[in-house]
Amino acid sequence: MININLYRAIGETDFAENKDIGEKIRVSKIMPELSKGNELILDFEKIDRATQSFIHSLISDPVRKYGDKALDLIIFKNCNDNVKSMINIVLGYLQDAMDNKEA
């Protein structure tokens, strides 16, 4: 299991907003671990806020590709209420999109 310290990964700032950095984290760290069936930790310690586009860039492709299995393998750690809210918003519309695709 790897621990991805997002504070360090985004340049030691408390605002996770750069979707390009989110994409790099997804491509280089998240997807390779999920493809092996490994758990990973997304550690939001010291992150006060995150944009919807940043969270989307981290988790939308994994959820689309691996479905609920991705959520079983990804551990969200040290999320404050602001970050939890953004994660839940993104997961909500991803779930809606997947439900509508099945209908």
Prediction pTM value: 0.92
Q: What residue type is 80 in one-letter code? A: N
3-state secondary structure of 3: strand
Percentage of residues of the chain with pLDDT beyond 90 = 88
| pLDDT value, residue 30 | 98
CA angle 85, 66, 102 (to 5 degrees): 85
Give the pLDDT confidence of 7-57 residue by residue, as tens digits. Answer: 999 999 999 999 999 999 999 999 999 999 999 999 999 999 999 999 999
3-state secondary structure of 2: strand
| Structural tokens at position 59 | 């988790």
